[in-house]
Structure 1
Amino acid sequence: MELEVRHLRALCAIADAGSLHQAARRLGVSQPSLTTQLQRIENVLGAELFLRERTGCRPTSLGRAVLSRARPLVDGMSDLVTAALAEAEAARPRGSRLRIGSTASRVIGGWLRRLRVALPGTDISLRVDVSAHALLRSVAASRLDVAFVHEVEGCPLTLPEGLEQRVLLDREPQFISLSRDHPAARRRVVELGDLAGDPWMVDPTVDGEWDGVRRVLGAAGLNPPVLHGDYLTAASLVVLGEAVAPCQPTSGPRDDMVIRPLLGDPLAVRLLLVSRPGTDIEVVYAQLEDAYRDAARRASGYHEWLLRHRSPLARTS
């Protein structure tokens, strides 16, 4: 294994964050993946670069020496990429273009379709990523114009300096998906205690997802079995009654599973549209708002929730 700039960037992130957990969030990777990467780097160098303590990570003397050489290289590469992107942008033929990014959402299709109608002749591209932080970095580096991201409650996103944000929804409740045979599926609203004996499926690659679920379960005094995996796999396990999983409230109805709100809405996210300064996002935001409202209307359980909470997004016209 040869050390590359991405390895040096990881070392700098760990030192700056003071913990593997926080560094992984900033880099948009899972903590186990970053831990493995650090171990491989240390194996190459033949010594520890960080002392793992209960309060976080602290550089060893060798770690400080490596960091002193790594930072100028990482900063230099960042400057080089920024300059290259600026030159490429300046050389590109002028024409209407919109590069949008989004974390996983059932709103994306409707948003994209509306943008194509509202902005005829505009070259619109889409990037979907599980990591909100990765999308934010792309906006900051001018690789994206806007990004629609969700911020898990209790796990704030680190917004790169200079970016602007507009809140679509300050608090979107996360619902729970259950098999149709689950005893709690007969209820309109499910209590966390009803799920104490069920394995929970959570995707740890989604920024803040596992932390948010763990915080809510801990506050409720619950410690159920937890499975880590993607939500496509989660859906197949939920259908079989092998797990329950948090889900977006805009999730559409299915014949083989039910979607229910949780009592008190303990799990929630904030929905944000982030852009670079000077970007005209009025049309982009308006089409996103319309697409979200339409998705909420089609998910009857969520539409009822919005009506109960007197949200303007419950408006149908």
Structure 2
Amino acid sequence: MELEVRHLRALCAIADAGSVHKAARQLGMAQPSLTTQLRRIEQAIGGQLFSRERTGSRPTPLGRSVLTRARPIVAQMTELVTEAKDAAGFGVPGGTPRLRLGSTGSRAIPGWLRRLNARLTDTDITFQTDVSANTLLRMVAGNQLDAAFVHEVEGAPLRVPDRVELRVLVRREPQFVAVPATHPAARSGRPVRVTELAGEKWMVDPSVDGDWDGLRQVFAAADVDPRIVYGDYLSAGDLVAAGEVVTPCQPTAQPRPGMAIVPLRDDPLGVRLVVGFRVGRGLGEEGDAVFRDLRAAYEEVAWNSPAYARWLRDQTHPSLPIVA
């Protein structure tokens, strides 16, 4: 087997993501396919490149040596493709303006797209979501996206590519918790302490960049060690409503039957909301307008989210932590 750039890219993805599972999602592959590809690469090289641990995959000494040589090659190839696409006018097919956006999950997205479509009637707007903020930022760096709206969890910094610059939308958004409607925290009408939920099972999606790392630090600071259930946030809502788990959530989350959204006392967990643009290609005045549309959409969902609106009104200075 001869190693190709795609093989080197797969190795870099596994190292950056910290697990084959997360890397497969970022690469758009099935996990078994990536696992098989990794085995073949290791056979070709003649040694194990990653040690498989309970928490993920770590490069072995041989793996670190290979990655040291692989990363510059992958970066140079990405830069070559980016420059070629720019030269070919990739973003303007047939002369039609094109805007390619990406985002991690947010209730502000529908309002953002509604405003963009109303204002840019002659622009072909494409949109995609991904649970991985780092993947979306790499797509911006690789000229696959023009901009990406992502979140950065406190204590788990994003890996921002050299070709990407960040513009801050919200300096610190507090994270809330979804609990069963029958839970005492739902009935009390007050923020709940992390220690009050220490006996609950917490569901966390390990594929969402930074979420588990940030939450683990919150548990350590509160000196609690709750039971953890790994899953995806799409199914978490049903399990919360069934009384099986609690789960961290965005303050703009809307409760469903059987569920309540509750702030955490003292706001121990927060995220920074940012928009990534390619360096030198921030879209100029159009980029400013795209950012303003997102800000307006976020303000709309924030004040129309009951739990978040109550939290905002209870603050000493009741205003959104949005960067002007």
TM range (shorter): 0.7 to 0.9
- What amino acid maps onto 2:320 in structure 1? L
Q: Relative to structure 1, is the Cα distance of residues 191 and 131 closer, same or farther in structure 2, using a 3 angstrom cutoff?
A: same
User: After superposition, where does 1:7-156 map in structure 2 within 5 Å?
Assistant: 7-12=7-12, 20=18, 41-42=41-42, 45-49=45-49, 57-60=59-62, 64=65, 66=66, 70=70, 74-75=74-75, 77-89=77-89, 92-156=93-157
Relative to structure 1, the CA distance from residue 303 to residue 130 in structure 2 (aligned partners, 3 Å threshold; closer, same or farther) is same
Pick one of 173, 191, 194 that aligns with 1:192.
194
Letter in 1 for 2:266: G
Q: CA deviation at 1:204?
A: 0.6
Residue 51 of structure 1, CA deviation = 7.1
Q: Alignment partner of 1:258: what SS?
A: strand
Distance 1:72 1:167 in 2: 29
Question: Alpha carbon RMSD of aligned pairs, Å?
Answer: 3.6
**Which residue matches 1:279?**
283
Match of 1:294 among 289, 296, 300: 300
Tell me, in whole angstroms, the C-alpha distance in 1 between the residues paired with 2:71 and 2:171. Answer: 37
For 2:168 and 2:214, locate their aligned partners in 1 and report how far apart those are by CA, in whole Å. 20
Give matches, 1:153-168, under 5 Å: 153-168=154-169
Shift of 1:92: 3.0
Is 2:251–2:308's contact at 8 Å kept on the other side of the alignment? yes
Instruction: Provide closer, same or farther for how the CA distance between residues 186 and 3 of structure 1 changes in structure 2, counting only shifts above 3 A.
Output: farther
Superposed displacement of residue 165, structure 1? 1.9
> For residues 94 and 63 of structure 1, what CA distance do their matches in structure 2 show?
45
Q: CA deviation at 1:79?
A: 4.2
Alpha-carbon spacing, 1:108–1:266, altered in 2? closer, same or farther (3 Å): same
User: Would the alpha carbon gap of residues 284 and 67 (structure 1) be closer, same or farther in structure 2, given more than 3 Å must change?
Assistant: closer
Structure 2 counterpart of 1:176, one-letter code: V
Tell me the alpha carbon deviations over residues 278-308 of structure 1, each in whole angstroms, 9 at most, x when there is no partner: 4132111111111111101111220122233
**Corresponding pairs, count:** 309
What residue number does 2:320 align with?
313
Which SS does the other structure have where 2:320 is aligned? helix
Change (3 A) 1:172 1:45: same
Following superposition of structure 1 onto structure 2, how do residues 165-184 of structure 1 map, counting pairs within 5 Å?
165-184=166-185
Of stretches 232-241 and 81-90 in structure 1, the one that deviates more from structure 2 is 81-90
2-structure distance, mates of 1:124, 1:93: 14
C-alpha distance after superposition, 1:126-147 (max 9, x if no partner): 1111111111111111111111
- TM-score of the superposition, structure 2-length normalised? 0.82
The CA distance in 1 between the partners of 2:68 and 2:205, in whole Å, is 35
* Higher deviation after alignment, 297-306 or 197-206: 297-306
Percent of paired sites with the same residue: 50
Q: Is the 8 A contact 1:42 1:48 kept in 2?
A: yes
Q: Does the 8 Å CA contact 2:49/2:59 hold for their aligned counterparts? A: no
1:45 positional shift: 4.7
Q: With structure 1 as the length reference, what TM-score do the two structures score? A: 0.84
1:226-264 deviation digits (Å, cap 9, x = unpaired): 111111111111011100000110012323210000001
Could you tell me whether the CA contact under 8 Å between 1:28 and 1:207 is conserved in 2?
A: no
**2:125 alignment partner, SS class:** strand
Instruction: State the 1:208 CA deviation.
Output: 0.5
What amino acid is aligned across from residue 239 of structure 1 in structure 2? Answer: A
Q: Which residue of 2 aligns with 1:253?
A: 255
Q: Does the 8 A contact of 1:146 with 1:275 survive in 2?
A: yes
Question: Per-residue deviation at 1:266?
Answer: 0.8
CA 1:192–1:101 in 2, change beyond 3 Å: closer, same or farther?
same
Report the CA distance shift for 1:313/1:184 in structure 2 as closer, same or farther (over 3 A): closer
